[in-house]
Structure 1
Amino acid sequence: MKEKIIAFLQDEKVKEFNKKIFNKKNLKKVIALIVILALLKITYLFMFEVKGVVKKVEGSKITVVNFLTTQTVDVGDFENILGNIQAGDRILIKKNLSGQVMSVKDYSYNIKDERAYDRHNFKGFHGRNFKRR
């Protein structure tokens, strides 16, 4: 099998195809496209999502810390969620174009417990859980 792969790669048609596709111009375009897409994704995350660990909760304001920034977000319409959020919880806040909070998700539950549960059980039809034997 190894010999067939080497023979295929040394074929003249394959070499010509590789020279046409993988040249400096095309590689520069691909790298530039990847950089632009990465910048768009980072911009989107900074504008519309706040994700990190809750530092403090004061009234209707939540201070969230991640590895880049510390942001304070006013979640005025989500008062019922504020009672459940404590310092140290992991949180995801989504905002719209005008900066108003659209959703607040607290995902501070223990992920290891859920993974262990998923490993030993599976969901059948209609979302019912079954134990493996």
Structure 2
Amino acid sequence: MCALEAASRWALTGTPIQNKLSDIASLYQFLRVYPYHDVGTFQEHIGRLKTSLSDGEALERLKNLIRYIMLRRSIGTVTLPERRDLTCTLDFSQEESLLYEEAKSSALHLIDEALDTDQERVRPELHY
């Protein structure tokens, strides 16, 4: 995504920081916010804030940095329609079903490898 060329960039996110500061670093990279479009620069500067300042002061500086690029609306100011789940069942041809099962098996194998475990695992049945 970051390699896409554009005259302007914007991003929409529900929560910009989910677990760690690198979550917001990727947004700065995508938006090309100089000099923080470089993840190393972002980590160096923000990491230095965290180690050289009190937690409260570092947090305030980070909030100021975010305010420069973010338009923030709390959930109370946004009226969203009620959530509606829709399930669509597809009927595959025999050939499509075979390709689907091969792709599913390959994906599950890659997930198992990524988890790097040899222990026996009970896998729930997947339904689509």
- Alignment TM class, shorter chain as reference: under 0.3
More strand by share: 1
Higher relative contact order (CA 8 A, sep 6+): 1
Larger radius of gyration: 1
TM-score normalized by the length of structure 2: 0.20
